[in-house]
Structure 1
Amino acid sequence: MSGFAGRFAGRTAIVTGGASGLGRTTAKRLVAEGANVVLWDVNEEALEATKAEIGATGVFALDVSDQSAVASTAAASHAVLGKIDILVASAGITGATAPVDEYPIESWLRVMDINLNGLFYCCRAIVPFMIENGYGRIVNVASVAGKEGNPNASAYSASKAGVIGLTKSLGKELATKGVIVNAVTPATFESPILAQLPPAQVDYMRGKIPMGRLGEVEETAAMVCFMASEECSFTTASTFDTSGGRTTF
């Protein structure tokens, strides 16, 4: 894994969904580049394994759709870290694969609770610490599905569109507060989350990528780390694509 030695020296970060996929890879790179990182994830066993592997400062097991748990865990994380400079909001699920008229209501609600409501709870709880500190970088993990929509993935597409809208709103709110807020919109990349999808759905998404391949998680993690760094200083309320050419806007 390439990186920038010391880029995050003295910085602190919270990574949600930090025990697998993009969250885990991003957290590993943040630590390698000098950050003190606290991981949030619903999978306690995977959290402990990741902490040991990457050298995270701390871990908290929670479901981000639980607003009270998010608020208390944000305060506990602040106590552990001393300050919160960076939030990478990566926790998410795909939900069911089905047309709208057959889409399970319970799956729709669960996707919204985690992907959109949970991300809102995280931002809501952590933003005050950043404002108090006069510095912050928030990276919300959205998807090209939030821009283009994927058939038979209405809940996921709608939740990620909501993440983009929330990011644009929050970025404008905080534009004079020293807090930068952006979203990353990856196309499909190799990740454990693909196990939640039927192969035909993965083939469809691969076929939409002009480069003709799925992304690698390290490629998106590299973009996330730029967005989380001091170098990202004049772009806020925006989106950064890692889509192999699928989206150009």
Structure 2
Amino acid sequence: MIERMYPKPGLRVLVTAGASGIGAAIARGFLDAGAKVMICDIDEAALAHFAAEHPAAVTRRADVSNEGEVTALLEAVRASLGGLDVLVNNAGIAGPTGKIDEISTEDIRRTLDVDLLGQFLVLRRAVPLLRASGDGAVLNIASVAGRLGYALRTPYAAAKWGIVGLTQSLAKEMGPEGIRVNAILPGVVRGARIEQVISDRATAEGIPYAQMEEQYLANVSLRRMVEPEDIAGMALFLCSPAGANVSGQAISVCGNVETI
């Protein structure tokens, strides 16, 4: 019974933005489970570091907001992995922090291009491979900002709400073909990215970093940050036999963030 909680060995997995943070934790989890893993990222130094630590993984530079690079990426997946069983649509950026009338059009577009359009572009090229696998799974990484309003982070929140809508719609579309689609909504995840987010929010509100961090954690019922490995654990479960009938869901892994 316990083996049902782990993905079957040999899954072919693509993780976007997989060289660091949540993406790297998910990629490591699948590698440990015996999967064939390819990651992409725009950070070439992080890619090189990941490749050195995990020589079994295939690595490639790709910007998910660039349609040509996405097409080449999925061609590389076909050539390197021989197909695709699991897509982890993880790539995203934090976007600007500020009031709506202070945010530039360029910053809004870039946030939506990476966080939302990027998932569309990868899915368009990945779905034919997932369909051919006969039992494909998609994990779209969103955020608790996809279920809660997020003052001073409107482009990011808009993109993450969009990902939830994309997930639920695609689950209905692809379910009859046996492809499961779910979204994972991380909360305050420990790492460099949340540190920058808290710093930018503290600056925007004119308060010290420590005070802003305390405010973030005060809004979490468990009063602690989530670890990247917590997100990876949910990803592995959703791609295990035990998760075979979970689809169309937006699952928070956040310690119960009450408000942001």
Over 3 Å counting, the alpha-carbon distance change for 1:207 and 1:5 in structure 2 is: closer
CA contact (8 A) 1:4 1:33 kept: no
Classify the secondary structure of the residue corresponding to 2:47: helix
Structure 1 residue 118 displacement after superposition: 0.4
Aligned residue number for residue 237 of structure 1: 248
Share of identical aligned residues, percent?
A: 33
The answer on whether the counterparts of 1:182 and 1:236 sit within 8 Å (CA) in structure 2 is: yes
Aligned twin of 1:171 = 171
Query: Whole-Å Cα distance in 2 between the matches of residues 217 and 88 of structure 1?
Result: 14
Aligned length: 246
Q: Is 1:120 equivalent to 2:120 in the alignment?
A: yes
Distance (Å, rounded) in 2 between the aligned partners of 1:27 and 1:90: 11
Q: Match for residue 180 of structure 2?
A: 180
Matches within 5 A, 1:1-249: 7-199=7-199, 200=202, 202-246=213-257
- In the alignment, residue 142 of structure 1 is paired with which amino acid? A
| CA drift at 1:88 | 0.7
1:65-102: CA deviation from partner (whole Å, max 9, x where unpaired): 00121012101111100110011111111011101121
**Paired residue type of 1:168:** Q
Q: As a proportion of its length, which structure holds more helix?
A: 2
My pick for the range that moved more, 139-148 or 221-230, is 221-230
Distance 1:60 1:94, change over 3 A: same
| Structure with max Cα Rg | 2
Distance 1:172 1:5 in 2: 25
| CA offset digits 1:36-87 (Å, max 9, x no partner) | 1001101122112102212343111011000121012101111100110011
Code of the aligned partner of 1:9 = P
Superposition TM-score, scaled by structure 1 size:
0.93
The one-letter amino acid paired with 1:212 is R
Q: CA deviation at 1:202?
A: 4.5
Change (3 A) 1:66 1:77: same
Q: Which amino acid aligns with 1:160?
A: K
3-state DSSP of counterpart to 1:148: coil
More divergent stretch after superposition (9-18 vs 194-203)? 194-203
Seen in structure 2, the aligned counterparts of structure 1 residues 185 and 6 have a Cα distance that, compared at 3 Å, is: closer
**SS at the partner of 2:185?**
strand
Greater displacement, 228-237 / 167-176: 228-237
Q: 8 Å contact 1:51–1:59 — kept in the other structure? A: yes
Whether contact under 8 Å (2:6, 2:241) holds in the other structure is no
Shift of 1:229: 2.5
- Contact 1:12-1:81 within 8 A present in 2 as well: yes
- Residues 187 and 243, structure 1, Cα contact 8 Å, conserved in 2: yes
Q: Which residue identity lines up with residue 119 of structure 1 in the other structure?
A: Q
State the 1:5 CA deviation: 10
Gaps of 5+ in 2: 203-211
Q: TM-score, normalised by structure 2?
A: 0.89
Task: Supply the AA of the counterpart residue of 1:70.
Answer: V
1:134-182 alpha-carbon deviations (Å, 9 max, x no partner):
1211100001101102110001100000000000111111111121100
C-alpha distance in structure 2 between counterparts of 1:177 and 1:84, whole Å: 15
